[in-house]
Amino acid sequence: MSQGLWKPRVVRNIRRPDVAVVQALGEQGVATVHEAQGRTGLMLPYMRPIYPAARTAGVAITVSCQPGDNLMIHAAMETVSKGDILVVTTTSESTDGMFGDLLGASCQAHGVVGLVIDAGIRDTADLTAMNFPVWAKAISAQGTVKATAGSVNVPVVCAGAIVNPGDVIVADHDGVVVVPRDRAADVAKLGEKRIAKEEQSRARLKAGELGLDFYGLRAKLKELGVEYIDEEA
Amino acid sequence: MSQGLWKPRVVRNIRRPDVAVVQALGEQGVATVHEAQGRTGLMLPYMRPIYPAARTAGVAITVSCQPGDNLMIHAAMETVSKGDILVVTTTSESTDGMFGDLLGASCQAHGVVGLVIDAGIRDTADLTAMNFPVWAKAISAQGTVKATAGSVNVPVVCAGAIVNPGDVIVADHDGVVVVPRDRAADVAKLGEKRIAKEEQSRARLKAGELGLDFYGLRAKLKELGVEYIDEEA
Amino acid sequence: MSQGLWKPRVVRNIRRPDVAVVQALGEQGVATVHEAQGRTGLMLPYMRPIYPAARTAGVAITVSCQPGDNLMIHAAMETVSKGDILVVTTTSESTDGMFGDLLGASCQAHGVVGLVIDAGIRDTADLTAMNFPVWAKAISAQGTVKATAGSVNVPVVCAGAIVNPGDVIVADHDGVVVVPRDRAADVAKLGEKRIAKEEQSRARLKAGELGLDFYGLRAKLKELGVEYIDEEA
Amino acid sequence: MSQGLWKPRVVRNIRRPDVAVVQALGEQGVATVHEAQGRTGLMLPYMRPIYPAARTAGVAITVSCQPGDNLMIHAAMETVSKGDILVVTTTSESTDGMFGDLLGASCQAHGVVGLVIDAGIRDTADLTAMNFPVWAKAISAQGTVKATAGSVNVPVVCAGAIVNPGDVIVADHDGVVVVPRDRAADVAKLGEKRIAKEEQSRARLKAGELGLDFYGLRAKLKELGVEYIDEEA
Amino acid sequence: MSQGLWKPRVVRNIRRPDVAVVQALGEQGVATVHEAQGRTGLMLPYMRPIYPAARTAGVAITVSCQPGDNLMIHAAMETVSKGDILVVTTTSESTDGMFGDLLGASCQAHGVVGLVIDAGIRDTADLTAMNFPVWAKAISAQGTVKATAGSVNVPVVCAGAIVNPGDVIVADHDGVVVVPRDRAADVAKLGEKRIAKEEQSRARLKAGELGLDFYGLRAKLKELGVEYIDEEA
Amino acid sequence: MSQGLWKPRVVRNIRRPDVAVVQALGEQGVATVHEAQGRTGLMLPYMRPIYPAARTAGVAITVSCQPGDNLMIHAAMETVSKGDILVVTTTSESTDGMFGDLLGASCQAHGVVGLVIDAGIRDTADLTAMNFPVWAKAISAQGTVKATAGSVNVPVVCAGAIVNPGDVIVADHDGVVVVPRDRAADVAKLGEKRIAKEEQSRARLKAGELGLDFYGLRAKLKELGVEYIDEEA
């Protein structure tokens, strides 16, 4: 839900992070990025992709709408650049289908690389065929009006996570994570390290080494007083 | 949930809409049909297809069952014709798997083109392999008894929508919509117009025209007092 | 949720059912096995596979963890044998992603044929690519710590079903069913009979015979006072 | 959710059932009335009273609103008579607080005896102090606009039950039940009989007679093959 | 949900724990007992009392029913003794009102001191007036049939907790906890100690001592690397 | 859920708003304050008071915990002043009972006037008897450990609303609303005006004036094309 809406407003220009950083975070994926930034910024698990292979990363254009009203998504389209992702919230809970294949076509025409919406979505077969990735709370054919003011590029809360315009959004089959713009470069570097380390771990675990030994957990179990029993009673 | 069950009953013969109309509505899909009939008749978004490509349209045979009891689905099978869709409800909420591949085989033998069930479904892998489309509230292997009376071809409420026998059901990845029999032809015509109009819209939006201009929303935003700010604070 | 945790403990060796029995049950699938054992042992329908084709059967290694802590999954890995399935529960509700592709790699290195987890899962794209089948309550990138004691191979309640170590787990697109070890052979036999019978039923239903006749339900409907009406009012 | 909204409309005058019948049904309470009419017309159990002693019965004035918009509740107020109950639905799911103490005061000024709303409610402390009974899906301070058309006194679906204007609404701590206007007198008579019978049952059960004997269930249990075992294994 | 239902059966006589132990556990309350037995046996938090002051403790008579069918509750009434609590489960999820004031009257006539039901309940106003305490998943006027076999005094899973006949049930505003019969005396002793200790803690905390000092947590925070900052940035 | 947790930290001193402002907002109540600040800052409606008369206002001390771990609540107690309210969140969803009567006693000893917790609560009967108001997502006896670092007085997201330390929290039977510290005085003034205006409205509505006339909605209905029909069809 959106915050601080004293007056409805559209912020036309936002600061964006480095494109290479966004791309690096996208390659790392949600689980790695979430770990790399100290397990922060993850949206709640009810946000699901509309098709299994959906995967993207981009820069957040935030939109705060009245439930059942997509007027401000149209207003937001004037502020997007290539590589952006729309992050749409409503001022109270809604499952209405606020976005369909027409808006999807418009997004692709303007280089928008995905949609994260804490509400409903429709025309999912078309959006899948267009390869336009969407993460949503619900799928619903229920359409919306264009009647009430809202805001574009203000701070919002989307599925439990704070999103500021210009933040990096990374989304894949595991969910959606938000990386604050100013930390994006640092997180990307930490993510690289994590991936390198995981590569090694994977090799050793594949070779049959136990996590108990690998992570040195035997001492921990002993310290916690976990008892070993040889045979089932 | 079913209404008006003073006495359990099976209505053998129902009036059906024109086949061509049903087909036309099916081609238009749920989102278009829902819009065309003034945004009415949509089932709640918890109704999901058991496989992504599921898509159908047909004539409603309604069934009202005791939860955990599929006796009346069997009774309903005697009333179906080619092109019908079973619409199954229970008198209180249930997720039991009331329908499986055997009933699916029976349906296909009699020309039934789909199932919409406000309860559970099982044998989903088989039903998918058979290409028998199902929209359900839950997937559950929990079987049912055949012990309690219910009704066939009475008015029911299915996932929040009123369904009368003989209504048209359109279902796809966006959900399920009900079109009253007597309005089906009119809705189909309105749907055609809507599709033609959307085709034009799509072309213009793909070419990069903004929805703001296309739908003439700039005046609306001004009237609503939405303020434009050039740069992020 | 786990029961009887007076003292945290790891039971190293469990009794396992016959491999051929496990395989037979796996071929029968969840719906058949659930019926064959008198409709018992089914997990709640919120347990869903991470990819549609997921299907497995194996021997339960049970794990009881603190929510947000996967230490005991690592402890459990020392007790697994080829053909086992991890059944992971938490002492209170959690959706955290307690298991990812590294643990998946470890499982495959040790012959574990699946995971059933009453919590969250992450790295779902990798696990799908690895063909490692998982049934879970949620998909979440939220990682866990390795800090609190729990138990391995104690009786647990997973998604509403009691699981004892050594029980057979059968899982497919319809859900997850637990077969007590000592009944596994008997259930497998009953399942065979059921399948044979269903084969015959399927043939007759495909040929157009009605369930009403096939199951002899006309008398039942009469006895229940279901009225037949020829025409819609 | 509302049905049949081709054109938004307000029906000014509705037919109402006999006042004595409404009163009789109200005295019987939800559970008895629901039984008396063959277990039909019950709203889903998520509809809860805002205070435990809430109890009412009246005639349905139905209202279909856009979610987040209470314009049509105001329109409905012009159509009410003493003894009516407002039944408010939205065209898609919403928890917004569409009704507060001001509308409550207006209702009491016009003799409205309760509100049943498949959405949210606010000013619950004031409404409780005023003794104005409300059954709702949610309590939320989120206010609404007055911007979009809807209908008054059309058939609606409220919490899974069909409500036509003029139907009798009975509501208490057990939930909400709808009695079709034309059946109200018959249901009231059946309810009386049921209460008389229950009075006798209560006396016998209080005296220690078992339901097994009272309802003659021993034969049933035998027929179903329920085995009696003397001692716990 | 119930387990192990090969054959429906009623076990007439169960072993019960010492009355004084049950009483002691009841006085300690749910939170204390749950802690005393190592945080096991707690039912899921969706189990709520029908009135705020509800509080009881007793011996479990377990009942496994078909959803929508309360036949076996009647069968169970023949097996109860003074001080027992009915623990009712269904073989799949249901919110039907399986128990009302008549069964409540019967329970009180036979000394039953409460009901714990993983389904629905009705006549809640009467049950409250009778001071008969109930913990349930839902309140619903929807009645049930008496048509299908089930079992009495078999092990069941109720709201995520295993309950064996003869176990102690403690229930209050915090929820419901199950104490295995053979551990009840030990748990009661541990509970006494815990209460004595809490009494001391309460006195010191009331006097203004901080938990940080009281529980010695300052070292822990330092070890975990928690940084102290004097002023808000 | 908490944001920006690069390093766990405790901020000892926060800036607080004027006491008179907090008191004024508390007297206005949640619905009025929410309206007065442009319908922002409302927590999601799943946050409910543990007793109906709970009502408070105070200054937010924010706490971000690991789920199942209340260590940081103890750390927070060192930073509180008279008139503060604890706002507790977890880094992923949890219903564990993180706070009970001992912490309640500690809070009262230090002048804390309430708790808002996006997780579980226990000892609810004691907390009610102590008149310590709590708004929570769940009631659960499940206890927690004190093992993992978190933060105190950092920005958090609680039940969908951003809370900064020092913000004003207003909570009553309608829910919980957050007022940013720097706006608190302005919001309080707007709230006063709103209350004065509502007083007048209430008088006129009580006198029977219709909202249609009072708010001038007849023109709106006409403009929207709402049709008036005299008699039910």
DSSP string, C78-119: TT--TTEEEEEEESS----B---HHHHHHHHHTT---EEEEE
pLDDT digits (tens, 9 = 90+) for A22-70: 999 999 999 999 999 999 999 999 999 999 999 999 999 999 999 999 9
Q: Given CB atoms, is C6 within the 8 Å cutoff of chain A?
A: no
Whether the pLDDT of residue C4 is over 70: the answer is no
The DSSP element (H or E) to which F116 belongs, if any, is strand F115-121
pLDDT at E6: 62
Whether the pLDDT of residue B48 is over 60: the answer is yes
Do chains D and E meet with 3 or more Cβ pairs nearer than 8 Å? Answer: yes
The set of chains that have 3 or more CB pairs under 8 A with B is A, C, D, E
ipTM of this model?
0.93
pLDDT band at A164 (very low <50, low <70, confident <90, very high): very high
CB contact under 8 A, E93 and B91: no
pLDDT digits (tens, 9 = 90+) for E175-218: 999 999 999 999 999 999 999 999 999 999 999 999 999 899 99
Q: Of B173, B190, B200, which to mutate for an interface test with A (greatest number of A Cβ within 10 Å)?
A: B173
pLDDT at F6: 63
One-letter amino acid for residue B205 of the chain: L
Q: Given CB atoms, is C228 within the 8 Å cutoff of chain E?
A: no
How many Å apart are CA D94 and CA D45, to the nearest integer? 17
Cβ atoms of C23 and E64 within 8 Å: the answer is: no
Q: Which residue has the tokens 């971000």?
A: F64
How many Å apart are CA C80 and CA C86, to the nearest integer? 8
Q: Given CB atoms, is C109 within the 8 Å cutoff of chain B?
A: no
Residue that wins the pLDDT comparison between B5 and D24: D24
Across all residues in chain A, what is the average pLDDT? 95
How many Å apart are CA F119 and CA F58, to the nearest integer? 20
Output the six-digit token pair for C207. 């040929």
How many Å apart are CA B89 and CA D162, to the nearest integer? 14
Output the six-digit token pair for D225. 């093959």
One-letter amino acid for residue E9 of the chain: R
Of E1, E7, E183, which is closest to C160 when you measure between CB atoms?
E1
Cβ atoms of F147 and F71 within 8 Å: the answer is: yes
Residues 186-205, chain F, touching D (beta carbon < 8 A): 198, 201-202, 205
Do chains C and B meet with 3 or more Cβ pairs nearer than 8 Å? Answer: yes
Output the six-digit token pair for D117. 């709303």
Output the six-digit token pair for F117. 């917790």
The DSSP element (H or E) to which E30 belongs, if any, is helix E30-36
Report residues of chain E scoring pLDDT below 50: 1-5
D37 half-sphere exposure, CB direction, 13 A CA radius: 29
pLDDT digits (tens, 9 = 90+) for D72-83: 999 999 999 999
How many Å apart are CA E34 and CA E39, to the nearest integer? 5
CB < 8 Å to E68, chain B: 66-68, 92, 94
> DSSP state, E148?
S
Cβ atoms of E9 and D229 within 8 Å: the answer is: yes
CB < 8 Å to D225, chain B: none
Q: Which residues contact C221 (CB under 8 A, 6 or more apart)?
A: B10, B71, B75, B149, C212
> Which CATH number does C8-189 carry?
3.50.30.40
- Relative to beta strand C168-172, strand F227-231 is unpaired
Cβ atoms of C118 and C90 within 8 Å: the answer is: yes
Instruction: Give me the count of residues in chain D.
Output: 233
pLDDT at F232: 73
pLDDT digits (tens, 9 = 90+) for D81-106: 999 999 999 999 999 999 999 999 99
∠F58-F62-F67 over CA atoms, to 5°?
Answer: 130
Q: Given CB atoms, is C37 within the 8 Å cutoff of chain F?
A: no
Report residues of chain F scoring pLDDT below 50: 1-5
Distance (Å) from the alpha carbon of E155 to chain C's nearest alpha carbon: 10
pLDDT at C2: 40
pLDDT at B6: 62
Residue that wins the pLDDT comparison between A91 and A1: A91
The set of chains that have 3 or more CB pairs under 8 A with C is A, B, E, F
Q: Which residues contact C186 (CB under 8 A, 6 or more apart)?
A: none
CB contact under 8 A, A142 and D66: no
Whether the pLDDT of residue B2 is over 50: the answer is no
Of E169, E158, E151, E53, nearest in space to E112 by CA: E169
pLDDT digits (tens, 9 = 90+) for C168-211: 999 999 999 999 999 999 999 999 999 999 999 999 999 999 99
CB < 8 Å to E1, chain C: 42, 44, 160-161
Whether the pLDDT of residue D2 is over 70: the answer is no
pLDDT at A6: 63
Across all residues in chain E, what is the average pLDDT? 95
Of A68, A69, A104, nearest in space to A86 by CA: A104
pLDDT digits (tens, 9 = 90+) for C80-126: 999 999 999 999 999 999 999 999 999 999 999 999 999 999 999 99
∠B58-B61-B63 over CA atoms, to 5°?
Answer: 140
The number of beta carbons lying within 10 Å of the beta carbon of residue C208 is 10
CB < 8 Å to E12, chain D: 228-231
Distance (Å) from the alpha carbon of D34 to chain E's nearest alpha carbon: 7
Cβ atoms of F30 and F181 within 8 Å: the answer is: no
Backbone angles phi, psi at A185, to 5 degrees: -65, -45
| Exposure class string for A197-226: b at 16+ Cβ within 10 A, else e | ebeebbebbeeeebbbeeeebeebbeeeeb
How many Å apart are CA D217 and CA D210, to the nearest integer? 10
Burial (0-12, 13-18, 19+ Cβ within 10 Å), B233: exposed
CB contact under 8 A, E138 and D45: yes
Q: Given CB atoms, is F37 within the 8 Å cutoff of chain A?
A: yes
pLDDT band at B4 (very low <50, low <70, confident <90, very high): very low
Of B187, B174, B53, nearest in space to A101 by CA: B174
Output the six-digit token pair for D94. 């919403």
Whether the pLDDT of residue A3 is over 70: the answer is no
Output the six-digit token pair for A82. 């290539």
CB contact under 8 A, F67 and C140: no
CB contact under 8 A, E157 and C155: no
How many Å apart are CA E230 and CA F11, to the nearest integer? 6
Beta bridge partners of B135: B49, B116
The number of beta carbons lying within 10 Å of the beta carbon of residue D20 is 10
pLDDT at C6: 63
Q: Given CB atoms, is F95 within the 8 Å cutoff of chain E?
A: yes
One-letter amino acid for residue D231 of the chain: E
pLDDT at D6: 62
Whether the pLDDT of residue B117 is over 90: the answer is yes
Cβ atoms of B17 and B187 within 8 Å: the answer is: no
The DSSP element (H or E) to which D11 belongs, if any, is strand D9-13
- Relative to beta strand F9-13, strand E227-231 is parallel
CB contact under 8 A, A146 and B34: no
pLDDT band at B186 (very low <50, low <70, confident <90, very high): very high
CB contact under 8 A, C210 and B153: no
pLDDT digits (tens, 9 = 90+) for F62-115: 999 999 999 999 999 999 999 999 999 999 999 999 999 999 999 999 999 999
Whether the pLDDT of residue A232 is over 90: the answer is no
Q: Given CB atoms, is C62 within the 8 Å cutoff of chain F?
A: no
User: pTM (2 decimals)?
Assistant: 0.95
Burial (0-12, 13-18, 19+ Cβ within 10 Å), C119: buried
CB < 8 Å to B40, chain D: 2-6, 91
CB < 8 Å to F230, chain D: 11-13
How many Å apart are CA E135 and CA E113, to the nearest integer? 12
> DSSP state, A44?
P
pLDDT digits (tens, 9 = 90+) for B81-102: 999 999 999 999 999 999 999 9
One-letter amino acid for residue B169 of the chain: I
What share of chain B has pLDDT > 70, as a percent?
97
Burial (0-12, 13-18, 19+ Cβ within 10 Å), A112: buried
